[in-house]
Homo-oligomer: A and B are copies of this chain.
């Protein structure tokens, strides 16, 4: 569509973030220019600076929003059952949430290097907070005697790496439903930690 000058603040703002998200995920932060983002939105490059002070802030906002959304969603989802039930819920939640947001997940893992040191620390703190949620479940299950994990911190990292890995190969058009994938991973997680 042919575009002319005008005010579209409420529409353009989210579209800038969406375009940045898609392009950063596909080509990488450093490989994407502000002109490419502008072209995707349908404005000129200069207009982007009405919505972000610079390119770095665009990346940081995307990552912070993702991590905060993840933590909020988990807070809403987690329950008070026994450790096994909590672990089952974490595993299934993690898979669903990540499969539904492939671009956000991708940049949040791949573009950490491109954050300024201050921004990096803030994102890392959020990630650490999320990891600690799983670690607490493992430690509680250990105390209850239902889990047998030699090193809760290491097992936390191993489980998160495993379940996050679905995002690298899962395709919606493939042969498996999300539920089938959740079942397979839950079986592995459960066996890996059970006493």
Contacts and interface: CB of A to CB of B under 8 A. Distances in A.
Interface in A146-195: 150-151, 154-155, 157-162, 164-166, 168-169, 176, 181, 183-185, 187-189, 191-194
Contacts of A166: 157-158
Contact of A165 (B27, B158, B192): B158
Contact of A154 (B113, B164, B184, B189): B184
A102 interface: no
Interface residues on A, range: 35 or more
A26 interface: yes
Given A158-B165, A165-B157, A181-B154, A113 B28 contact: yes
Copy number of this protein in the oligomer?
A: 2
A142 B170 CA distance: 23
A100 to B, nearest CB: 19
Q: Binding site of A, secondary structure by majority: helix, strand, loop or mixed?
A: helix
Contact of A185 (B158, B168, B188): B158
B157 A168 contact: yes
Given A26-B113, A191-B191, A154 B168 contact: no
Interface string A28-52: 1111000000000000000000000
Given A28-B114, A187-B150, A161 B157 contact: no
Interface of A: 26-31, 110, 113-114, 150-151, 154-155, 157-162, 164-166, 168-169, 176, 181, 183-185, 187-189, 191-194
For the complex of A and B, list the 9 residue pairs with the smallest distance between their C-beta atoms, beginning with the closest.
A161-B165, A30-B30, A30-B31, A162-B162, A188-B192, A192-B192, A191-B191, A157-B169, A158-B162
